Amino acid sequence: MKILVANLGSTSFKYRLFDLTTERQLARGGIDRIGGPESRCTVEIGSFKDEVTAHVPDHAVAVKFCLEQLTAPETGCLKDASELDGIGFKAVMAGALSGVRHVDDALLAGLERYAAIAPAHNPPYAKAMRQLQGAFPNLPQVAALETAFHETAPPELRAYAVPHEWQTQYGIQRWGFHGASHRFISQRIAELKGRSDLKVISCHLGGSNSLCAIRDGKSQGNTLGMSPQTGLPHNNRVGDFDPFALPVLIQETGKTLPEILDILANKSGLLGLSGLSGDVRDLEQAAANGHERAELALKVFTQSIRQYIGAYLTVLNGADAIVFTGGIGENSSRIRKDVCSQMDFAGIEIDLAINEKLRTEGKFSTPTSKIELWVIPTNEELVVARQTAELLSKS
């Protein structure tokens, strides 16, 4: 079974093609600046790599362009588009419509209903899915919702302390996100350890960030709450924030609530703290050169991670492993060191030499550390491909 996995932004389309009989990745690519005068289109099929510019007005045309790349006579990996069994979307949230679902009117309505919760994701996904239904009516579409993995979290870790009917009637609760990544980590660490009865804290650190407490392969809680804007600071999103600061900001700045929310969603986080960049690589270089606000942003970030690790150690009653993944988790030895140092109260011992050079899958705790420290590169797309194939097989 061949599954195309799509990861969409408002002006971007990234994809990977998998053959699920062997779980082999056949191709990957992407299109940036969709809707602009010139879109950048990349593709990688085996040893073949190419990059071109073209006018791609919408996501339906982006998928057509992608299929042209995959079926090209000389370089493609498909004879024709009919070899494709389905397309799986790493969708974010549709409220109570969670899990892995066929894309239908109810799912699309759910995405659109909660567009304000995930403004960078839900609108482009709903729009693209509708466009693809018209352009490819016979191509099955599946949405793997990011909230699905966290449905196993106990009620006390999902509920806000608000009137109960807000949760039951309006869906105001901690939904949790990054489900595909945390699911992959739970599966991979079980393979590496040869057992599934593990207590794991998964740290997905990248453009957006979250921690997940996992017991026996099941989520017990996620730092992201009602929306992907919460929890840890993100590259340009605020993370945890007191809502009672909003009327103060409206009064003092003269800005409207939508304007303030836009700042919190797009100009805050590490970018807002540093005034320089939301990219940890830029901040680490600047901090090394004495940039005080870059240093502050990094310290706020690591301290937030440490606080949530402490919280999840109490949720799980300890841990067998703490796993770092995502662009930051896999590549920033400084962040890993700052997070894991001075954790001797929990029996955590970091091997500084291994940590400094580790950029691939591996363990960087000492042999005597009571909690193992790991770097495991995530593979969200493979998880979505598996989920899509499973649903289509049942259908």
List, as residue ranges, the binding site. 7, 14, 279-281, 327-331, 380
Q: What angle do CA 159, 162, 168 make, to 5 degrees?
A: 65
- HSE-CB for 26 with a 13 A CA cutoff: 22
**Cα(217)–Cα(197) distance, integer angstroms:** 7
CA distance 278 to 121: 19
CB burial string 145-166: b at 16+ within 10 A, e below:
bbbbbbeebeeebbeeeeeeee
At CA 233, angle to CA 230 and CA 237, rounded to 5? 70
Identify the three-state secondary structure at position 54. Answer: strand
Answer yes or no: are the C-beta atoms of 271 and 283 closer than 8 Å.
no
Give the Cα separation of 165 and 172 in Å (integer): 9
Angle at which helix 380-394 crosses helix 179-193, to 10 degrees, equals 100
Compute the distance between CA of residue 102 and CA of residue 141 in angstroms, rounded to an integer. 6
Q: Which residues are annotated as a binding site for Mg(2+)?
A: 7, 380
Q: Which residues are annotated as a binding site for ATP?
A: 14, 279-281, 327-331
